[in-house]
């Protein structure tokens, strides 16, 4: 059995998956609030051990190793993935509807057809009914949403909107420059951000989200700014070049295993015959 061929094939598949992740990061380099994804490459033996310890399963790999080359168990595999939640650069927009979160781990809550979701994208706007929504049309939730079902809306006569660092919204009184309290943004801080699951439209799903409490004093809201993606385009391009080179190396190794070594074996057998 040409185990080197299978190891090279597994390595190439792992690099293809890595390329997909890098390409997605680069495609979202200008997406507001986007968080970079990364993959962890390990080997089959590590995956087997973790699964065996968790289930547990009897370790039959030692007996199998008597008949199977051990290098097969060292084939590269994607063993885990994670999201980098570090804060991106704050960009001023001078738009009173734009809001950014300056602290890691904070999220806005929005209502989607699939339920309540979290997002870092604070480029909000008003719909025709005066309700605060995301660019995708999802309603932005107020801090008392789970008790009252309230979203955030503005009267047609409102022209000035101010938001403090804790997400409290103030609007001008009709035909007046005086400001009055409006709703307050639902600012959430999940206990473990590693449990967040990415969905489309820059949203995160969090199991048990209805149990999350809004932060009374988050201190992280900045009005008139948006948080840019935390993807480093130069780093991603470097990783893409590296990955493409690895794919080429694995392809050459596969070609050597299947073509050169097989041809050499056939020629030697033919001479002996």
Query: What is residue 164's predicted lDDT score, i.e. its pLDDT?
Result: 95
Query: What is residue 46's predicted lDDT score, i.e. its pLDDT?
Result: 60
**CA 26 to CA 239: how far, in whole Å?**
11
**CA 136 to CA 132: how far, in whole Å?**
11
Tokens 């309230």 map to which residue?
150
Using DSSP, state whether 108 is helix, strand or coil.
Answer: strand
Q: Mean pLDDT of residues grouped by 10 in the chain (273 residues)?
A: 69 88 94 92 64 58 49 67 92 94 95 95 93 95 91 86 94 80 93 89 92 89 95 94 88 74 64 61
Query: What is residue 265's predicted lDDT score, i.e. its pLDDT?
Result: 63
pTM: 0.78
CA torsion 23-197-219-90 (nearest 10°) is 10
Which residues touch 84 (CB under 8 Å, ≥6 apart)? 35, 36, 37, 38, 230
**CA 78 to CA 59: how far, in whole Å?**
22
Please tell me the number of Cα atoms within 13 Å of 116 on its side-chain side. 22
DSSP classification of residue 138 = P
């Amino acid at each position: 059995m040409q185990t080197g061929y299978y190891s090279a094939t597994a390595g190439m598949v792992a690099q293809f998956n890595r390329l997909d992740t890098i390409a997605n990061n680069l495609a979202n380099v200008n997406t507001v609030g986007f968080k970079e994804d990364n993959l962890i490459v390990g080997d089959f033996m590590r995956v087997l051990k973790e699964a065996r310890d968790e289930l547990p399963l009897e370790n039959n790999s030692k007996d199998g190793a008597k008949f199977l080359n051990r290098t097969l168990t060292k084939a590269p595999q994607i063993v885990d993935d994670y999201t980098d939640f570090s804060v991106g650069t704050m960009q001023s927009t001078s738009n009173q509807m734009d809001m950014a979160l300056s602290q890691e781990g904070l999220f806005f809550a929005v209502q989607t057809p699939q339920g309540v979701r979290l997002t870092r994208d604070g480029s909000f706007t008003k719909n025709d009914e005066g309700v605060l929504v995301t660019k995708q049309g999802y309603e932005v939730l107020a801090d008392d949403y789970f008790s009252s079902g309230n979203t955030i809306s503005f009267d047609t006569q409102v022209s000035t909107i101010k938001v403090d660092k804790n997400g409290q919204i103030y609007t001008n009184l009709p035909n007046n420059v005086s400001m009055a309290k409006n709703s307050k943004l639902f600012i959430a801080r999940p206990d473990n951000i590693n449990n967040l699951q990415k969905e489309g439209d820059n949203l995160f799903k969090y199991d048990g989200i209805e149990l999350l409490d809004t932060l009374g004093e988050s201190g992280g809201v900045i009005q008139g700014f948006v948080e840019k993606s935390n993807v480093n385009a130069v780093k991603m391009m470097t990783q893409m070049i590296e990955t493409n080179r690895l794919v080429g190396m694995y392809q050459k190794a596969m070609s050597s295993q299947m073509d050169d070594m097989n041809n050499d074996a056939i020629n030697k057998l033919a001479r002996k015959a």
